[in-house]
Structure 1
């Protein structure tokens, strides 16, 4: 077959498709290389990314915008990438400003000690 002359000799290699998710990339890889993809990885959903960062499950990641629509998925992912992990922020406060750890909920809300 003509296609066989273009196949790469990568039999001992593991093939990983980092964009697996039903878009057909794995099929294209299989056609080009003549063998199946060994590992297909999918992109994480925004709620999975926020959980991995340590955000509580009650954290709102898709607020309703002024136009009445929820925040788009790409914006949710971008904001997660720009966020500071809550456990890390709490650890920094405990280490650098130990007095703030004893503040009441009201004092924390106002940002000043009584």
Structure 2
């Protein structure tokens, strides 16, 4: 049977933040699952790195795993710390900036019509 969640050990307890590593001057991503209905991705941002403002057709949830990130949603800024979460609504401009080294788990749920 095809694994629906990939690039991560199955039936194993593990610290999720350790599944993606920081790299100097980069954003590192690791896709765990993706199809037309959802996307599950781990990210590690070096300090000062960012994903610029964009929109998505799906609702996106960020779970902060390490550090602090500045999340901008529809021109409002939020500081997100390890252990906290925020929803970025579909069709609203949003961006992510690493105030310091920042790891996050991004879950995007796309509409049926996508």
TM-score normalised to the size of structure 2?
0.20
Determine which structure has more spread, i.e. the larger CA radius of gyration: 1
TM-score normalised to the size of structure 1?
0.20
Question: Which protein, 1 or 2, shows the higher relative CO under an 8 Å CA cutoff with sep ≥ 6?
Answer: 2
Which protein is richer in strand relative to its size?
2
Which protein is richer in helix relative to its size?
1
